[in-house]
Structure 1
């Protein structure tokens, strides 16, 4: 009994203008892995590989060829003898989205091919608190999103900054604090590395008067100024891009020990898959560093796996798992967002006809 696998490419269309400090995104490509045992070809596990353009280390021209090569090697393995070590040998270094897609497909297969990646309370009805994401755009667009998120019951708002006029972004924050002071909103910011090193402290000081919970990646990753910035910033700094490409427990420990961020934000697609994220969480907790988990524009397939993985932990902070409604043509699933929380409604069915 040997494993078999195939993949299918799908392009998802955004239902709005998705703008970050790296530019405008109109669509998003994912590759879906199907894995089965040749003794039972009708039972399949499904996983999603979705590298982010301009950010993921595996956003490269040979991605599809590498994916095919990895899947070709599966036929020499059986499901019974497959483990994390085997996966690491199969997938070349620098392809975290393939690791994530393959490990979740295998977990799905092991659990009966029903998109039940882990056996925990999430798929039994327990919801996960999440933040509401405000995308960049003109002032009216951002304020409209903000009002919608508050009306939907979100109490933690994440706003992208650094891609527009700084004064305009400050205006949005000022409006947010004045208009919704009764709601006592928690505000998170994500700069995607947009601030220049010679201006970042000034800008963080300006932003801090709005009682900001944290700011993701204020400057580009890998810069020597980050160590001092983590010490001096008036706003707690959270790492996202800074973690990309850091492989192995010792390298991770050294980074956290040297830079000492307040938080790390984990994206399995970017940060080496689920097992790698487990390692990051363990190291962060040992160092007294907070963490939360965020999706990376995956469709319902990847988002479902990330939600179930997150539910393995005692969640205290809102997570970044609210991106399921951003596509016109997302895969119909039991995932639903209600009152600032995501939950799994098992009365609803998966529709994988497009995968």
Structure 2
């Protein structure tokens, strides 16, 4: 009997109101895919599909119906999986219009092939012997809320702090950056993320003001899709520009190359859930390296299932830059995992176990339920 796929919907609840320039987040729907062979039901791979509202190209009303249809088609194929045929299966099974489903299936398949141990990429990180430097994220909010987060991140020992900006008064945001630069160690790296909040006619002036605070980089200063304006801004900017939303929807290799060659940003930021998974990120990395563009990898509000896969993928590369992998602490009902953050580093604590109980708590509202940990050994 071949492999079977099913899924479970889980609504993640934020610990606080998470502000961005696109609005405030209090919850996020995500979908956990399970792949298993009914002849060995205790061994299963898990992956996560988590489109972001208002941003992912697969944030659409038919998402869940399409995911269900993909599972049904997968179940009819009587597949055998090998690492070499996963890209082929993905390209023929799932439309490029659903990148988060591509990522979820890709990681669930790899987890299954690796024995259903929540190991997607076996390396020093998944073995617990290597940690990944990450940035501490300061969410938007009023001045006092952001200031409290800044002090928490400094006290926690982060060497890189990223502030989301663009929602409150720009002068207040500059005051926060001045406070951070004055009260933090001189070597602290400061990143900012505008999420496309700047108007094109004001962007260069704001970048010039931000440059006074020794900013490492700014993510997506203007809204994506304005290619001529963005290319000009990347040429003139006093602060390195890192593009992330700009990459969404470019699924063909030639389109990736054409975009980066035209815009010539200083950095790109890779979010596997938004870009179609690890195979597509490989293409972005190869293209960026050819063009002399720096890069790092960021999670996109996944649960610990998706974050774990992204972290293991990130650890494949000898990239010394701090990565954006600190989102595992956002939710009050996240999936308990061996992922831990210590002094600004993410590590996989092999002495801890996965606990899927929070998923089981949702079983009354879904048809397909992942086996309980005591039966599944997960």
TM tier, shorter chain? over 0.9
Equivalent position to 2:248, from 229, 239, 244: 244
C-alpha contact 2:191 2:215 (8 A) present in aligned 1: yes
Equivalent position to 2:106, from 100, 103, 108: 103
* Alignment deviations for residues 107-130 of structure 1 (CA, whole Å, 9 cap, x no partner): 000000010111100022210000
* Alignment deviations for residues 236-295 of structure 1 (CA, whole Å, 9 cap, x no partner): 111100000001111101111111000000000001111000110111111111000000
Counterpart position of 2:332: 328
Provide the rounded CA distance (Å) in 2 between the counterparts of 1:3 and 1:70: 13
* Alignment deviations for residues 20-71 of structure 1 (CA, whole Å, 9 cap, x no partner): 0000011011000011123322211011111011100111110000001111
Task: Tell me the secondary structure at the aligned position of residue 4 of structure 2.
Answer: strand
Task: Tell me the secondary structure at the aligned position of residue 203 of structure 1.
Answer: helix
Counterpart position of 2:214: 211
Provide the rounded CA distance (Å) in 2 between the counterparts of 1:218 and 1:309: 27
Give TM-score, length-normalised by structure 1.
0.98
Provide the rounded CA distance (Å) in 1 between the counterparts of 2:121 and 2:216: 31
C-alpha contact 1:236 1:262 (8 A) present in aligned 2: yes
Extract structure 1 runs of 4+ deviating beyond 3 A. none
Counterpart position of 2:49: 49
Cα deviation for residue 352 of structure 1 reads: 1.1
| 2:112 is the counterpart of 1:114 | no
Give TM-score, length-normalised by structure 2.
0.92
Task: Tell me the secondary structure at the aligned position of residue 277 of structure 1.
Answer: helix
Note the residue ranges of structure 2 that are not aligned, 5 or more in a row: 360-378
Task: Tell me the secondary structure at the aligned position of residue 137 of structure 2.
Answer: strand
Cα deviation for residue 310 of structure 1 reads: 0.3
Cα deviation for residue 183 of structure 1 reads: 4.4
C-alpha contact 1:117 1:308 (8 A) present in aligned 2: yes
Provide the rounded CA distance (Å) in 1 between the counterparts of 2:28 and 2:316: 28
| 2:163 is the counterpart of 1:159 | yes
Provide the rounded CA distance (Å) in 2 between the counterparts of 1:193 and 1:343: 31
Counterpart position of 2:29: 29
Mapping for residues 131-280 of structure 1, pairs under 5 Å: 131-180=135-184, 182-223=185-226, 224-280=228-284
Cα deviation for residue 307 of structure 1 reads: 0.3
C-alpha contact 2:96 2:276 (8 A) present in aligned 1: no
Counterpart position of 2:318: 314
Equivalent position to 2:95, from 92, 95, 108: 92
C-alpha contact 2:12 2:29 (8 A) present in aligned 1: yes
Provide the rounded CA distance (Å) in 1 between the counterparts of 2:88 and 2:118: 23
Task: Tell me the secondary structure at the aligned position of residue 258 of structure 2.
Answer: helix
Cα deviation for residue 164 of structure 1 reads: 1.1
Number of equivalences: 354
Counterpart position of 1:15: 15
Counterpart position of 1:4: 4
C-alpha contact 1:37 1:79 (8 A) present in aligned 2: no
Counterpart position of 1:80: 81
Taking only aligned residues, the RMSD between alpha carbons, in angstroms, comes to 1.0
C-alpha contact 1:155 1:183 (8 A) present in aligned 2: no
Task: Tell me the secondary structure at the aligned position of residue 199 of structure 1.
Answer: helix
Note the residue ranges of structure 1 that are not aligned, 5 or more in a row: none
Cα deviation for residue 93 of structure 1 reads: 2.1
C-alpha contact 1:238 1:263 (8 A) present in aligned 2: yes
Counterpart position of 1:349: 353
Cα deviation for residue 85 of structure 1 reads: 1.6
Provide the rounded CA distance (Å) in 2 between the counterparts of 1:151 and 1:120: 30
Single out whichever of 292-301 and 136-145 deviates more from structure 2.
136-145
C-alpha contact 1:170 1:207 (8 A) present in aligned 2: yes
Provide the rounded CA distance (Å) in 2 between the counterparts of 1:72 and 1:38: 15
Provide the rounded CA distance (Å) in 1 between the counterparts of 2:168 and 2:322: 26
